[in-house]
Amino acid sequence: MDAVKHDILAGLWRRRLDTLAAGIANGDPYYLQIANAAEHISAEHQGRFLIELIQNANDQAVRDGLTNSSVSITRTEQLIAVGNSGQPFDDAKVDNITSIFKSDKTADVCIGNKGIGFKAVFQVADSAEIYSCAPGGHLSEEPAIAFRMVRRPFADPAFRAEFRTLAETLLARDAERRRAIEGRFPTQSGVDAVLREAARAAGFTFPLRLTAEDFRGRIDQLGLSGHALANTQTLIVLPLDTSVSSVERVAAALDEICGDHLEGGSIPASSSFLFLPGIAKIEVLDRVRGIRTDLEKAEGIASESLSDGATLRYLTTTAKRTVTAAPADADSGEPARQHWWVVERLLGGGDPQTDNKAASEREALREAIKALRLPEENWKDVERVPVAIALPVPDEADGDGHEGHPLGPNGRFCIGLPTQVSTGLPLWVSAHFHGKIDRTAIDFSNAYNTLLLDTAEELARTLLDRIKMFPRRSQQRLAALAMERGQGELATRSFAPTGLARTAIVLAADGAFIEAKQLRIPKGNDLAMFETLSEGLSSVESYGFRLPDPMLLKNARAVLDTLAADTEAPDAAYLRRPNGDLSLVEHAAVRHRADGSAFWERFLSWVLTRFASTLPDELSKQAILPTAQADLSKPVTSHHNPATGFRRNPASCWGADEHLARVQGWLGLGAGATERDFGEVGAIFGAR
């Protein structure tokens, strides 16, 4: 193993030394610019080091053709290690990871493609150790490649001595270069000048050797089993900075991966790697906090082909937390579970020779990428980009009690892994956006990102159209629930005048899908009484109401209210007599005539509050006053004098004398109420 590592690193050192010496001789301080850029990038990647390592693991899995690889994360007081089962390191990968703005990953396949993300590890550590097996092997054997990247490699005496020897050999062969260097640094020898300038370069460009003994020592410190190593091709170990800020960053990074669902937060279980095609499982063992978290992603029903090359998938992500110090037979509870409908397609996919849309999309991508003026070579030939959209789905096990409840506008834009940018809807979006260096922000004003967002918007429409065709109402309700509005670019687009939220996405009471602006629904405070008024009616449309699905009306009123303005039915709808039929209030009075004061107190109190001051004339014509034992009368035509209302025998309005005291209490009248008192109440119903 040492011979292989020696060949890789010694050859790399010679190449880097040759380039560095040329720069020094020519007065080109490129190496200082790289060092400054590296420091800037490290500052930009605050808290993202673990995200970057998982992304790298996914890219290596994808390049190896894997869709079910696993990632392990182990944390101790002094170390954090990330293992993966993707493609192991080779010479080219060592060269790329110890460079900057250099990557052999293609931007249309891999998420990490700028050659900079890995350097985020220096936020929490001064070095990063990489151990990787031979192709087809695993790390239960000794690694084939082992090296470490450090901030200050020239502080290592052995490396400095070896590098001096290499510099002496190089300058002895190239006298002209040596004279040029000594001409720029006349007080130093050429070798000393090279060593001094090399120490100012970015430290990670000169990786240091590690041995099999170093590897075995780390395995013991981490407590990794042979079984775990048998499923690991590459292990990255970070000796942690133990400052308070570093410890806090590590804890926050672990929490971001594991999610906040177990604490009642808004981020669904295992959503951190929902869109990573190469990873199916992440195991997080936090020995500091004594917690193990198992995150998994699994395919549900068979995928379905939709229009324009889109594919519909049903995924389930789970997260199970176990207290490692608990007894072996302790119940750790059921895992948190989240189901997802996912629609994805390849923008620019298809045969451009026969598919005009594919050809047009590829040309648009080429032009948009050209406009970005990116320095990375691996973007120049990108003609196809994957785009996906996902909707969290309530668990069927939650039953009817959960149906129709809002999903929460907690969707995120993802570049494989979640960014900090909200979609403003429950929908999550993933594409190879060109984001801020640390992927915490996305500029949607550039043509490339706009093109991907346009595609995501189309996929959202495709998903909702498919949801509307699902057989169960509990599924169909999701079309409206997907448009719960928060703050975000996708929400802004969806709520534009011609946006998705303005289309027929609301499941109506009759099973049809209608636009939200067609709704005519009761005021929020009237819902409980409305259910009573409409009991026994097959439809209330003739009264002027257009209702959504009952569960949406009951549980998602806030969502409905954001979809369209002015959807509340007018007050007159309750008193209208369509085609000479009973009004809604009359229908309720007839249906509940024999129910006694339990109904009548609530009913008449609501009627008085709602209509006495706003629609007194219409109210006076409603046959809703209980008279004698079973009759109903209009206040203005009852056998009572309308000027005295309840005066003659208020108890007869309820059909039994024993209710009089309760009626008096409801009306706010004392036990000694006079006929005049009851008459004033009756006058509300139509005294003239």
Give dist(CA 356, CA 358) in Å, integer.
5
Burial of 516 per CB tally in 10 Å (0-12, 13-18, 19+): buried
Instruction: Report yes or no: 53 and 82 within 8 Å, Cβ to Cβ.
Output: yes
pLDDT at 625: 86
Give dist(CA 147, CA 211) in Å, integer.
8
Please identify every stretch of the chain with a pLDDT value under 70, giving residue numbers as ranges.
1-6, 41-47, 101-116, 260-266, 326-332, 352-353, 375-378, 396-402, 438, 628-630, 635-688
The end-to-end CA distance of the chain, in Å, is 105
pLDDT at 122: 86
Residue 487: enclosing H or E segment and its boundaries? Answer: none
Give dist(CA 296, CA 71) in Å, integer.
10
pLDDT at 663: 43
Burial of 146 per CB tally in 10 Å (0-12, 13-18, 19+): buried
pLDDT at 65: 87
Q: How many C-beta atoms surround the C-beta of residue 86 within 10 A?
A: 23
Helix (H, G, I), strand (E, B) or coil at 612: coil
Task: Name every residue whose Cβ is closer than 8 Å to that of residue 33 and which is 6 or more positions away in sequence.
Answer: none
If we measure between CA atoms, which residue out of 578, 488, 503 comes closest to residue 541? 578
Give dist(CA 363, CA 321) in Å, integer.
47
Burial of 316 per CB tally in 10 Å (0-12, 13-18, 19+): middle
Q: Are strands 412-415 and 428-431 parallel, antiparallel or unpaired?
A: parallel
Contacts 24+ apart (CB under 8 A), 595-602: 596/654, 596/655, 596/656, 596/659, 597/654, 597/659, 597/662, 597/663, 597/666, 600/626, 600/654, 601/662, 601/663, 601/666, 602/529
pTM of the model: 0.86
pLDDT at 640: 42
Give dist(CA 118, CA 128) in Å, integer.
10
pLDDT at 334: 80
| Sign (positive or negative) of CA dihedral 140, 145, 148, 154 | positive
**SS3 string of 56-116?**
HHHHHHHHCCCCCEEEEEEECCCEEEEEECCCCCCHHHHHHHCCCCCCCCCCCCCCCCCCC
If we measure between CA atoms, which residue out of 645, 647, 663, 666 comes closest to residue 655? 663
Helix (H, G, I), strand (E, B) or coil at 469: coil
Task: Name every residue whose Cβ is closer than 8 Å to that of residue 216 and which is 6 or more positions away in sequence.
Answer: none
Q: Measure the CA dihedral 620/626/631/632, to 10°.
A: 20
pLDDT at 52: 86
Q: How many C-beta atoms surround the C-beta of residue 107 within 10 A?
A: 21
pLDDT at 657: 41
What letter does residue 432 receive in the DSSP assignment?
-
Architecture per CATH, domain 2-258, reads as 2-Layer Sandwich (3.30)
pLDDT at 42: 65
Give dist(CA 29, CA 14) in Å, integer.
19
Angle at 589 between CA 584 and CA 594, to 5 degrees: 150
pLDDT at 293: 94
| Sign (positive or negative) of CA dihedral 551, 554, 555, 558 | positive
Read off φ and ψ for residue 403, nearest 5 degrees.
-65, 135
> Domain extents for the chain?
2-258, 339-506, 507-569, 571-688
**SS3 string of 527-585?**
HHHHHHHCCCCCCCHHHCCECECHHHHHHCHHHHHHHCCCCECCHHHHCCCHHHCCCHH
Instruction: Report yes or no: 483 and 530 within 8 Å, Cβ to Cβ.
Output: no
If we measure between CA atoms, which residue out of 570, 468, 455, 449 comes closest to residue 514? 468
Instruction: Report yes or no: 387 and 393 within 8 Å, Cβ to Cβ.
Output: no
If we measure between CA atoms, which residue out of 12, 19, 39, 157 comes closest to residue 98? 12
Helix (H, G, I), strand (E, B) or coil at 438: coil
Tens of pLDDT, residue by residue over 126-143, are 899 999 999 989 999 889
What residue has token string 């084939």? 144
If we measure between CA atoms, which residue out of 205, 245, 232, 237 comes closest to residue 221? 237
